[in-house]
Amino acid sequence: MFVKALRVGLGQLIIFIDFITRPGKKQRPAEAQAQVNSAAKDLTLYQFHACPFCVKTRRTLRRLNVPVALRDAKNNEQDRQTLLEQGGKIKVPCLRIEENGQTTWMYESKVIIDYLDKRFAAA
């Protein structure tokens, strides 16, 4: 019980710190942002709201100004089941990428952030 309370408290602290230190969004010309928005429609991030690695990934999405659909794999049973059945495991963050008719499930925040930086930083 103590461990759960500690985990919840730390989670709320992480969310608060993220809120007060949130990075600004990358500014792009309207046409370039429209291209990023179009490319982001094929991405979905499965995450837990207070997970530090998920927060790190969401901060990158905000910094790069990439509007990705977020799925709550902790509190939404349907999202959790989709992650398990299609992704293979309940591990977050997980970026679902749909390209050329294929779906890729990318785990590990560092790998996801590297992918996002390579794909969207120059855009």
Tens of pLDDT along 30-50? 999 999 999 999 999 999 999
Sheet with 102-107, side-by-side order of all strands: 69-72, 43-47, 94-99, 102-107
Q: What is the mean pLDDT of residues 96-104?
A: 94
28: three-class secondary structure by DSSP: coil
Give the global pTM: 0.89
Alpha-helix runs per DSSP H in the chain: 2-20, 30-40, 52-64, 77-82, 109-120
Cβ-proximal residues to 121 (8 Å cutoff; 6+ apart), any chain = 64
Q: How far apart are CA 73 and CA 46, in angstroms?
A: 6
Region 96-109: mean pLDDT is 95
For residue range 59-83, what is the model confidence (pLDDT) as tens digits?
999 999 999 999 999 999 999 999 9
Q: What is the pLDDT of residue 122?
A: 81
Q: Which domains does the chain have, with CATH numbers?
A: 36-123 (3.40.30.10)
pLDDT, tens digit, for every residue of 9-31? 888 898 898 899 999 999 999 99
Q: What is the pLDDT of residue 7?
A: 84
| pLDDT above 90: residue 57 | yes
- Pairwise CA distance, residues 18 & 41, whole Å: 25
Q: Are 98 and 106 in contact (CB under 8 A)?
A: no
The mean pLDDT value of the chain amounts to 94
How high is the pLDDT of residue 76?
A: 96
How far is residue 47's CA from residue 69's CA, in Å, rounded to a whole number?
11
Q: Is the pLDDT of residue 100 over 80?
A: yes
